[in-house]
């Protein structure tokens, strides 16, 4: 069943409109709203993340009956047929959360948007996530995916930032502290209640933070890689 819910969250003194939907028409409209040029002609930054449909130990054993999940090697996780439950995007003003059912198709507009060469998608662990998606699931690829930990470590000259989480990066890069805004309930399930406010707020905080961190870092990097027009010889 198709459904849409629009919510508003105040983060860092700014109201962020979050649309949670699985309706193709709404998804297309929201992605179209992201396709707006930047004021400084630079690369537009999109915070990106996704969540998996959870699968329990016993569900995996049922789906893979030939696998002994109670064997001697307890450190080996059972094979998981989990599929993405949500795709989350933020341009700093609004967020789009696309929720899916198991084995459902990914919207064509999202697939095409992720391959746009003049958009940079940023997140924590984003390159590994896309590699996993492209190899094992939908063949989803991304033209420009940048891991924020690696970017922050490079730009700021602080190697330890490679291993920091989103909250620490947000504080180090933007002096942004959204920890108090995070829901304290972690027992939600996107698959059971995709329109719930708790996971929607958590997702919004994450991708909004990704956008803020990525925009700040890439703005610092841009003068070196894309000098102003007055620096460029037109001869």
| pTM: predicted TM-score of the whole model, two decimal places | 0.81
Model confidence pLDDT, tens digit, residues 67-89: 444 344 445 444 445 678 899 99
Q: In the chain, which residues have pLDDT < 50?
A: 57-63, 65-74, 76-80, 225-235
Question: Which is it for the CA torsion 114, 32, 36, 231, positive or negative?
Answer: positive
Per-residue pLDDT, 82: 63
Q: Which domains, from first to last, does the chain contain?
A: 4-53+80-222 (3.30.420.10)
Per-residue pLDDT, 77: 45
Per-residue pLDDT, 192: 77
Pure H helices in the chain? 24-34, 57-63, 108-114, 126-136, 148-156, 166-174, 197-225
Per-residue pLDDT, 140: 83
| Whole-angstrom distance, CA of residue 33 vs CA of residue 43 | 16
Per-residue pLDDT, 79: 43
Per-residue pLDDT, 177: 94
Per-residue pLDDT, 32: 95
Q: How far is CA 10 from CA 15, 19, 29, 208, in A?
A: 4, 14, 23, 11
Per-residue pLDDT, 69: 41
């Amino acid at each position: 069943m198709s459904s849409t819910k629009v919510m508003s969250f105040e983060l860092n003194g700014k109201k962020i409109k979050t649309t949670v939907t699985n309706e193709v028409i709404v998804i297309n409209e929201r992605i179209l709203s992201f396709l707006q040029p930047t004021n400084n002609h630079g690369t537009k930054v999109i915070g990106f993340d996704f969540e998996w449909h959870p699968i329990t130990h016993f569900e995996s054993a049922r789906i893979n009956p030939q696998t002994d999940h109670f064997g001697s090697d307890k450190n080996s996780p059972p094979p998981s047929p989990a599929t993405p439950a949500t795709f989350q995007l933020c341009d700093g003003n609004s967020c789009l959360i696309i929720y899916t059912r198991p084995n459902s198709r990914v919207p064509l507009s999202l697939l095409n948007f992720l391959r746009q060469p003049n958009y940079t998608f940023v997140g924590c662990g984003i390159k590994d996530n896309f590699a996993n998606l492209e190899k094992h699931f939908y063949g989803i690829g991304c033209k420009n995916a940048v891991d924020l930990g690696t970017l922050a470590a490079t730009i700021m000259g602080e190697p330890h930032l490679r291993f920091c989480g989103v909250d620490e990066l947000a504080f180090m890069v933007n002096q942004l502290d959204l920890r108090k805004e995070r829901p304290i309930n972690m027992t939600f399930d996107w698959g059971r209640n995709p329109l719930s406010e708790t996971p929607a707020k958590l997702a919004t905080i994450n991708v909004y933070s990704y956008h803020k961190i990525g925009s700040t870092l890439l703005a610092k990097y841009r003068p070196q890689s894309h000098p102003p027009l007055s620096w460029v010889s037109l001869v």
